[in-house]
Structure 1
Amino acid sequence: MKKLLTAALALAATPALAHHPLAGAPMETFGHGLLSGVGHPILGFDHLFFVALVGIAALFTTRRLAAPAAYVAAMLVGCGLMYAGVAMPIKETVIAISLLVLGGALLSGRALGTVPTLVLFAGFGLFHGSAFGDAMAAQEGGVGGAVLLGYLLGLGVVQYAIALAAGWLAEKAMGVTEAASINARLAGAAVAGVGVFLILETAEGAALAALLGA
């Protein structure tokens, strides 16, 4: 697990967080949007870690299929809002906090309950979705409806699949059947560690900007 945490921290520190599969090329077709939507959550390790933990946390609710869907639905709403020009505030900071909060919840070894879990997933989903929307909002000249449809479809399908796969692997391969399981708590610790790292990195960047601007 120490190796897993070290690798997670290293990956989170790389520029891959901001990459998408088209390597900066404009999205012009449904296929471009679909490819970018599929690849963005995988290349963005902060999003990948969070959605994987969503799948594991969902195991401890009575809605193990619906709970990840709540995250995906809210994420798509956040992405759509960003496309429309409505950005969530301090989203990168909130995304880092989301890793710390959900990771800490699993680390505690106590199940949150179905309703709090759904609220948590949906609330943070809006911010993750807003970050995904940056890929479209930043494109000069905007994107068309076909690109948007492909992007949202790719985002939704791949993230729901990742969440379900993570939950299935945790249960079948790692023996995670309850919140107090040591493997569930270790997964929470690893993701919470990434969250702490990203929060410190954000704080450091803000401090440097303040000093340079002084």
Structure 2
Amino acid sequence: MKTLLNRSLLNKLSVLVVGAAMLAPAQALAHHMMGGKVPVTFMQGLLSGLGHPIIGLDHFAAVVGVGILAALLGRGVRPVLAFSAAMILGVALHLASANIPAAELLVGLSTLLIGGLVALRLSLGVLPAAVLFAAVGVFHGYALGESIVGAEASPLGAYLAGLFVIQTAIAVAAYAATTRIQQRAPSFNRAGMAAAGALIALIGAVMVATAGFPG
């Protein structure tokens, strides 16, 4: 019975992963329907915000990883909300012309770190966890902010709203799935989380290799 339950959960997880992979191009199309230009209407800003977190695999992996890690730490969805708020702050910093050196490298390193923590199931204190979620959010938000520079108030506000809603929804979904697995299939939990964390870390490592280190 337990084996069947584990297989059922694994199948559901596989469907979610495949579905997310299929959804990403559709969301990317919604974003790039403006031809890569800065959105100029409320609806364009909203579509851009909704699509942006899952256009880049590194951003999507980090958001999912944040949800999984929040569940493993057992502190509710507050870390997820903190991450989402910090990502909006990161966008704001970019719009304010603040300089975060090697932002793409930091995005990759933070994704790698999130994946490693998930894979190894390392526990964090309240303060280190808060700093981690905030830093990851700021780095990713700063990188995403490049696409919205120069937008007017209406599309900008819509972009930020869409960004906050979609990334929070994705992270909360990952949180809920992880919590369910922990409760219903503890024997699968360790192996499943190790695999998920390793995949997230791999995506982060590829991002790091692509970004390179500043010379």
1:160 match: 168
* Higher relative helix content: 2
2:193 match: 184
Q: Which of residues 115, 121, 124 in structure 2 aligns to 1:109?
A: 121
2:57 match: 45
Matched, 1:128 2:140: yes
Q: CA RMSD in A?
A: 2.9
TM-score (norm 1): 0.79
Of stretches 59-68 and 145-154 in structure 1, the one that deviates more from structure 2 is 59-68
Unaligned runs of 5+ in 2: 1-9
Question: What is the 5 A alignment of 1:2-41?
Answer: 20-21=31-32, 22-41=34-53
Rounded Cα–Cα distance in structure 2 between residues aligned with 1:145 and 1:169? 36
SS at the partner of 2:79?
helix
Unaligned runs of 5+ in 1: none
Q: Which of residues 155, 170, 194 in structure 2 aligns to 1:147?
A: 155
Residue 177 of structure 1: CA displacement? 6.3
2:178 match: 170
Q: Give the conservation status (yes or no) of the 8 Å contact 2:49–2:161.
A: yes
1:87 match: 99
Identical amino acids, percent of aligned pairs: 36
Residue 115 of structure 1: CA displacement? 2.8
**Count of residue pairs the alignment pairs up:** 191
SS at the partner of 2:151?
coil
Of stretches 100-109 and 51-60 in structure 1, the one that deviates more from structure 2 is 100-109
SS at the partner of 1:47?
helix
Q: Check 1:49–1:67 CA distance in 2 against 1; reply closer, same or farther (3 A cut).
A: same
The one-letter amino acid paired with 1:101 is L
Rounded Cα–Cα distance in structure 1 between residues aligned with 2:105 and 2:158? 27
> What do the CA deviations read for 1:42-98 (whole angstroms, capped 9, x no partner)?
112111000101001001234321101111111101101111222322110000001
TM-score (norm 2): 0.78
Rounded Cα–Cα distance in structure 2 between residues aligned with 1:198 and 1:126? 17
